[in-house]
């Protein structure tokens, strides 16, 4: 079993990953994605690795036809509950994103919040990207949002500790494989909670991610340094790629 297939990791760290401050950013992030990709109102949107549905729900609120895919049952159930409470019509699928494919169906596909680079075998990442490309209509866009290698090199810290909503959180980090792999040790302590988890994932520079997307058949790839559309330079906050079929 690969680390991301352990539901306990996602459920135990959910209060940290999806805190109120992050939820508050969602509407602005969706607005920025729409500005960068310009899908028509009501267009079909695929939220791949949707998590608890932050962006899924916001796109649906704005009238888009959304399919949300994730392999963590607890996340899908939480998103379904919110969608039902708001009477939002969303297709939720409990499925491994590596096998999901719906040819020529979507206008926009998303992989947000550093949900890319998890597969130990890069061939699986290529398979995933090609399935996303096949699922897009001609001219459709695939948006990937990650923490770029250049940003990590600029801002790297080996250890961080902080308090959040009654939890004590600690993160320890190392970089290996010629700056290709970020190793993480996350620890959380809180009410009835004392849990640590070690995992690794692949990290990409802007050029590496762009070349990978082009090699998988996308016609062109633009790179931004944040949801505000800034260039990807020394002031970049995120690595956001916009690949068009």
Query: 137 and 166 share a domain?
Result: no
Query: 23 and 62 share a domain?
Result: yes
Query: 60 and 27 share a domain?
Result: yes
Query: 120 and 236 share a domain?
Result: yes
| Two tokens, residue 161 | 């500790």
**Residue 135 burial by Cβ neighbours in a 10 Å radius (0-12, 13-18, 19+):** buried
- Identify whether the C-beta of residue 201 lies closer than 8 Å to the C-beta of residue 176: no
At residue 102, the pLDDT reads 98
Query: 167 and 138 share a domain?
Result: no
| Strands, sheet with 44-48, edge to edge from the N-terminal-most edge strand | 91-94, 65-70, 44-48, 106-111, 136-146, 239-244, 220-224
CATH number for the domain harbouring residue 137: 3.40.50.150
Query: 143 and 170 share a domain?
Result: no
Query: 104 and 129 share a domain?
Result: yes
Query: Can you tell me the mean pLDDT for 90-106?
Result: 98
Query: 186 and 209 share a domain?
Result: no
Range of the domain at 196: 151-200
Could you give the number of structural domains in the chain?
A: 2
Query: 142 and 177 share a domain?
Result: no
Q: Tell me what the pLDDT averaged over the chain comes to.
A: 97
Residue 60 pLDDT level (bands cut at 50, 70, 90): very high
pLDDT in tens, 8-35: 999 999 999 999 999 999 999 999 999 9
Query: 144 and 155 share a domain?
Result: no
Query: 144 and 167 share a domain?
Result: no
């Amino acid at each position: 079993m690969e680390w991301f297939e352990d539901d306990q990791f996602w459920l135990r760290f959910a209060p940290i990953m999806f805190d109120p401050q992050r939820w508050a950013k969602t509407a602005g992030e969706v607005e920025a994605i729409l500005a960068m990709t310009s899908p028509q109102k009501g267009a079909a949107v695929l939220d791949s690795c949707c998590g608890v549905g932050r962006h899924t729900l916001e796109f649906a609120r704005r009238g888009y036809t959304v399919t949300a895919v994730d392999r963590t049952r607890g996340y899908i159930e939480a998103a379904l509950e919110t969608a039902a409470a708001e009477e939002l019509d969303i297709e939720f699928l409990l499925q491994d994103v590596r096998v999901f494919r719906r040819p020529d169906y979507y206008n926009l596909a998303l992989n947000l919040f550093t949900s890319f680079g998890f597969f130990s075998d890069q061939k699986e990442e290529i398979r995933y990207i090609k399935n996303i490309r096949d699922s897009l209509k001609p001219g459709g866009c695939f948006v990937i949002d990650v923490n770029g290698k250049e940003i990590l090199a600029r801002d790297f810290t080996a250890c961080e500790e902080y308090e959040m909503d009654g939890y004590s959180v600690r993160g320890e980090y190392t970089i290996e494989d010629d700056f290709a792999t970020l190793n993480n040790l996350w620890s959380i302590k809180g009410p009835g909670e004392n849990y640590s988890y070690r995992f690794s994932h692949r990290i990409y520079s802007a050029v590496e991610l762009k070349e990978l997307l082009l090699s998988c058949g996308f016609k062109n790839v633009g790179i931004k340094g944040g949801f505000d559309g800034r260039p990807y330079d020394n002031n970049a906050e995120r690595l956001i790629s916009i690949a068009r079929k």
